[in-house]
Structure 1
Amino acid sequence: MKKVIFVIGIILLFASCEDVVDVELPETEPRLIVDGLLRVDKSQQFIDVRIRMRETSNFFEDNPPTQVESAVIAYGVPNEFGEFGEFAFSSLTEEEPGTGVYVPDPNFSSDQRIRTASAEPGTVFVLQVTHKEKNYYARTEYAPAVPLDNLQQGDNTLFDENETEVIVTLTDDPDRDNYYVFDFDFGNFQALEDRFFKGQQFQFSYFYDDNLEPGQEVTVSILGANQDFYNYIDLLVEQTMNNGGVFETPVATVRGNVFDITGLDNIDIFDNVERPNDFALGYFAVVQGFSSNLTIQ
């Protein structure tokens, strides 16, 4: 009986020592987040333009949608000096109030949708956004891709017996240096370059950590990429893999290609070399995509 009383006393002692610890997080100025990955399906007449605008928030909160004063995509083929002799543009508007999703303005005086035929190698797309009296600029060249040759489920595992292997096969285009981004569904991405299989058929395995159930369908997409977009996704994947939890300090902020150009008098200086802290988060890219579905066995 004395031992029971002693144990109860110890428990009460530790319970009485518990304090609520308030963690003071640093106050940071909210940044604009641009989710501007435009996937081009050449079988469709128009590009599905949907750009999501958000703003960074406190550490434990979701990033809320935000509204911008204006958003325009200009596109064309630049000359040897990188200048546009002729270009078209698409004016964007918020699809539904409060969503932060911007699409070609259906109420404009002319059709603002971007035809798929406009997306060809050499075509450059420029996104210009005004948000809270700041001007942002992103420039990207259309990146073609190759279709998937085959997609099948494998039987191997890498670290855990609950993993699911998916085997991807593609044939690289021999006429250019290619970079690819793979979207394996559920927010899983992987970057790949053709350095060691240029112009050849290539096969690799991807392992899902999630417990995929038999009968569940996954969609795997191959996206074209330029070297900058490849580097961006590769760094994002690396930081995600090394994440030690919500209190893990990231190695660095993963910067995209959306820059704050407010006050600049030379639009050609779009990478903010002398203004390293003036940028938005996210990325703007226009890429060809091919998708295949696979039912898990």
Structure 2
Amino acid sequence: MKRILLLSFIFTSLLVSCEDVIDVDLPDQDTRLVVNGLIRVDETEPYVPVEISLSLSSNFFEENVPTSAESVLITYEEIEDNVVINQGTSNLAETSPGSGVYVPDPNFSSDQRIPTTTLDRDYVYTLFIRHQGRLYLAQTKYVRTVPINSVRQGTGSLFGDNETEIIVNYTDQPDVDNYYLFDFGFGEYLVTEDEFYQGQEFEFSFFYEESFEPGTVLDISVMGSDQTFYNYMDQLIEQSGAFQGPFQTPVTTVRGNVFDVTDLDNIDVLDNVDQPEVFPLGYFALVQEEKAQVTIN
């Protein structure tokens, strides 16, 4: 479980325990396709590390089950005055049968990897998934982030001694609205926007609700985000709780940017049919990631 302190604002919660065990009948959920399409990019590498994971949603407290698709494809297009001026395609293949993990097909007749040089252009990236006879689509653009200036261990605490404070410092890019997704490891994520510190150096504390052995190295990263992905992760982090990744089945369904377009007559209008209950879960995002480490004293 994480606890977060931003500047001088402390958020607390009341924890109530009881000894009685209560059995709760939870309703069955419809099985849905779950798409883990968060692609983290290191711009110093020659290729984008494309990896799309597919699974089927489960009931409460159960793990999602990997699932195979008939086909998975990423296209990228640069459009100017409604005309495609540059384009490319990446055909994906499953790493092993039944894994549900898809990467650029190494056995294709041409190199299916996406060079990081494409990220310098204003491409729209579209993910197509054909699964169990249905067609799914998601679109995104590449979002950059800023480097982390420093990460250091603090000595503060919120509720007790069995905590570890990490202080993160970075400088926001001026003259543009920025959104950030921080990954603190152990399934711990944090989103923040620059509404109150645009263009400024900013520092905040993150509290792990545990202590670490001296010498433990913690990996921390920040990823770029647009407002839509920010809102999605904000809801999903809140609902998934501690010890779950952001692409597990949440308590309440959170819709991402992946759509079932099987029965649509115009994929540019994703709500033109009366099918409010036909949708997958998950998200497709292509973001820059900057990393830092801190060694626990």
| TM-score, length basis structure 1 | 0.84
Residue 26 of structure 1, CA deviation: 3.7
After the TM superposition, which residues 23-34 of structure 1 pair with which residues of structure 2 at under 5 Å, given as runs?
A: 25-34=26-35
Alignment check: 8 A CA contact 2:264 2:270 kept: no
Q: How far apart, in 1, do the equivalents of 2:89 and 2:279 lie? A: 23
> 1:187-234: per-residue Cα shift (whole Å, max 9, x none)?
110011111111111111111113322222111001000000000111
Runs of 5+ unmatched residues, structure 2 = 1-21, 244-249
Q: How far apart, in 1, do the equivalents of 2:202 and 2:188 lie? A: 20
After the TM superposition, which residues 190-201 of structure 1 pair with which residues of structure 2 at under 5 Å, given as runs?
A: 190-201=190-201
Residue 61 of structure 1, CA deviation: 2.7
Q: Which residue in the other structure is 1:61 paired with?
A: 62
Task: Label 1:210 to 1:122 Cα distance change in 2 as closer, same or farther (>3 A).
Answer: farther
Q: Which residue in the other structure is 1:134 paired with?
A: 134
After the TM superposition, which residues 1-297 of structure 1 pair with which residues of structure 2 at under 5 Å, given as runs?
A: 25-81=26-82, 84-120=84-120, 122-241=122-241, 252-270=252-270, 274-297=274-297
Which runs of structure 1 show a deviation greater than 4 angstroms over 4 or more consecutive aligned residues?
A: 21-25, 271-274
Q: Which residue in the other structure is 2:14 paired with?
A: none
| Structure 1 counterpart of 2:45, one-letter code | Q
Alignment check: 8 A CA contact 1:219 1:294 kept: yes
| Structure 1 counterpart of 2:89, one-letter code | F
| Structure 1 counterpart of 2:224, one-letter code | G
Task: Label 1:25 to 1:169 Cα distance change in 2 as closer, same or farther (>3 A).
Answer: closer
Identity fraction in percent:
49
Task: Label 1:272 to 1:194 Cα distance change in 2 as closer, same or farther (>3 A).
Answer: farther
3-state DSSP of counterpart to 1:235: helix
Task: Label 1:139 to 1:166 Cα distance change in 2 as closer, same or farther (>3 A).
Answer: same
Residue 85 of structure 1, CA deviation: 4.3
**How many residues in Structure 1 have an aligned counterpart in Structure 2?**
270
RMSD over equivalenced CA pairs, Å: 2.2
Residue 269 of structure 1, CA deviation: 1.3
Q: How far apart, in 2, do the equivalents of 1:115 and 1:192 lie? A: 29
Residue 57 of structure 1, CA deviation: 2.2
3-state DSSP of counterpart to 1:86: strand
Alignment check: 8 A CA contact 1:120 1:142 kept: no
Residue 24 of structure 1, CA deviation: 6.0
Q: How far apart, in 2, do the equivalents of 1:276 and 1:80 lie? A: 33
Q: Which residue in the other structure is 2:246 paired with?
A: none
Q: Which residue in the other structure is 1:5 paired with?
A: none
3-state DSSP of counterpart to 1:110: coil
> 1:106-135: per-residue Cα shift (whole Å, max 9, x none)?
111110000011113632211010110011
| Structure 2 counterpart of 1:209, one-letter code | E
Q: How far apart, in 2, do the equivalents of 1:46 and 1:272 lie? A: 37
Residue 41 of structure 1, CA deviation: 0.6
Q: How far apart, in 2, do the equivalents of 1:75 and 1:202 lie? A: 34
Runs of 5+ unmatched residues, structure 1 = 1-20, 244-249
3-state DSSP of counterpart to 1:228: helix
| Structure 2 counterpart of 1:191, one-letter code | V
Q: How far apart, in 2, do the equivalents of 1:66 and 1:292 lie? A: 34
Q: How far apart, in 2, do the equivalents of 1:293 and 1:262 lie? A: 44
| Structure 2 counterpart of 1:35, one-letter code | N
> 1:53-97: per-residue Cα shift (whole Å, max 9, x none)?
11112334311110000100111223355x644321100000112
Alignment check: 8 A CA contact 2:69 2:132 kept: yes
> 1:249-273: per-residue Cα shift (whole Å, max 9, x none)?
x773111111101111101013568
Rg larger in structure: 1
Alignment check: 8 A CA contact 2:264 2:272 kept: no
Q: How far apart, in 1, do the equivalents of 2:98 and 2:212 lie? A: 34
Structure with the largest fraction of helix: 1
Residue 286 of structure 1, CA deviation: 0.0
Residue 237 of structure 1, CA deviation: 2.0
| Structure 1 counterpart of 2:72, one-letter code | A
